[in-house]
Amino acid sequence: MATTIDDAQPNAGSLDRRFLTPARFPYRTIAMGTVGSALLMLAALGAGGILIRDPVLGHGPLSWVRYGHGRALANALLYSGFGLVVWAWVRLGRYALAGRIGSKPILIAALCWMAPLIVSPPLFTRDVFSYLGQGAQLLYGLDPYANGPAELPVLPNVVQNVHPLWQTTPAPYGPLFLLISKGIVAITQDHMIAGVILTRLVLLVGLGMTLWALPRLVKHLGGKLPVALWVAVASPMMVIHLFGGPHNDLMMLGFLTIGMLAALERKHVVAVVLVTVGMLIKPTAAVALPFMVWMWAADMAGPSKTKNFFKAGAAAVGLFLPVFVVGTWVSLGSLNLGWWSGLKAPQLITNWLNFPSGIGEAVYNLVHLIANVQPSPFVTVARAIAMVGLVAFGVRQWWLARGGGKEAVYRAAITLLAVAILMPPTLPWYLTWGFVLISAFPWERRNLSAIVAISVFVTLVYYPTGEQALYDWWFIAIVVVVSLYAAASLLRPDPLGLVAAWRKKPKDEEFLPKSS
């Protein structure tokens, strides 16, 4: 394993001594994050993923927050709220690492921080508008895997708020999620605010499933529940991206976590069915299925591991196929496999957050200094090389998982992370695919510090409107500094002494005249 268990007592050199004493319930820390979340919600009315025709502000007396200095003020307020949420999250992390709090305060904190965002405009994304558009296509008898929402002759508010990139792009999601979106649009119709709120409430089912599975996964995988909840549920990636976004990954993760738990508890039929259902929401869940075959084979009686593997593989395929076929038929009314072609749509996104795309762009910029060439061949070749590397990495992790058990869960989790990083596109919330599973394993403190840096960085590399900020280099430089400072703050409160310097009062003698 890449992670190891922390010592029973934290290192006094890495944590302030006052963090070694028992803590009361962290009311102030939770309140700090809740205030920050409320600021996010309010500021998003001017700086978030706002509607083109907004019935709340529209052209009323408060519409000024969307233009000029008002927009700048809304952005300042939003980033201030984000800072408070991160500050509170890091403080909770220090408490959890020091053993000062249990899992209950962390769970309450996460729910309190999510609560104001239920009614917020989308944050750092506009994907939820695409969900509603694709659900509307299915509701009105159009094939969302053939064309984009622009073909809809009804629901003008839904159509016009879909991002221009996705107006004519087929849906890249599983048929079961489109059925869920169809149900939401059937209720909310052209009322976009109601559609966004109802989407968040429905996705809470996925959060509830994850919360149910995590304590049980921790028992199997050897981690600490407060730390697991802090990484998987209270982090900015979960609170702000998956819920504040919102994103359908939240629903998929619910099925994935319970499916992995079922496999660890030798309920392999249930496990394969649940993960297949998760795949029908977002296809990424399919990455876990080959690892679950090893888990099933390892639990079979008999001396021949080879025979057990083929028995488990045949049984898994025998379960997968009918669930996949029935799930697709029920969702779409036919065995429409066009959604597989829709998986190519996200590859339209090209930016350096996806590692191979970034390498391709960097090589292109160097060559472009000498010759006038197009960037696409460089990106395409870099992506192709990365895909070969990803397949090799995935096969190796799958082979190393042949012992089954928690080793297979770990290998599946890091493979999910590799898919998020190497397969285009890489979007910030994709990292939750692996982090939620890995959170249940033991962690070293320095690795948790890296999680803080990554969580803050990937949340901020998109503007609150959902547009990327990746080529605003001064902004990215500030994001890197903030991310590193947040990471250092987990290991040591106020690592640069900034708060201490602000609080420090000058000594009286510094103001007395010097004697001659």
Query: How far apart, in whole angstroms, are the C-alpha atoms of residue 421 and residue 417?
Result: 6
CA of residue 52 relative to chain centroid, distance: 26
Confidence (pLDDT) at 505: 56
Residue (of 177, 40, 66, 65) closest to 122 by Cα position = 40
- Count other C-beta atoms under 10 Å from residue 360's C-beta: 25
For tokens 């082979």, name the residue: 399
Which residue type, as a one-letter code, is found at position 70? Answer: G
Query: How far apart, in whole angstroms, are the C-alpha atoms of residue 351 and residue 337?
Result: 29
Residue (of 239, 226, 242) closest to 26 by Cα position = 226
Q: Tokens standing for 264?
A: 């660890």
| DSSP H/E element including 270 | helix 268-281
Query: How far apart, in whole angstroms, are the C-alpha atoms of residue 497 and residue 500?
Result: 5
Which residue type, as a one-letter code, is found at position 386? Answer: A
Whether pTM exceeds 0.95: no
Q: Indicate the DSSP class of residue 344.
A: T
- 144 near 138, Cβ under 8 Å? yes
Confidence (pLDDT) at 354: 92
Confidence (pLDDT) at 15: 44
309 CB contacts (<8 Å, ≥6 apart)?
A: 293, 294, 297, 402
Burial class (CB in 10 A: 0-12, 13-18, 19+), 14: middle
4 CB contacts (<8 Å, ≥6 apart)?
A: 442, 444
Q: How does pLDDT run along the chain (516 residues), one tens digit per residue? A: 444 333 333 443 444 454 445 557 899 999 999 999 999 999 999 999 999 888 877 777 778 788 888 899 999 999 999 999 999 999 999 999 998 999 999 999 999 999 999 999 999 999 999 999 999 999 999 999 888 999 999 999 999 999 988 898 889 899 999 999 999 999 999 999 999 999 999 999 999 999 999 999 999 999 999 999 999 999 999 999 999 999 999 999 999 999 999 999 999 999 999 999 999 999 999 999 999 999 999 999 877 889 999 999 999 999 999 999 999 999 988 777 766 766 777 777 888 999 999 999 999 899 988 888 888 889 999 999 999 999 999 999 999 999 999 999 999 999 999 999 999 888 999 999 999 999 999 999 899 999 999 999 999 999 999 999 999 999 999 999 999 999 999 998 878 776 776 666 555 444 445 443
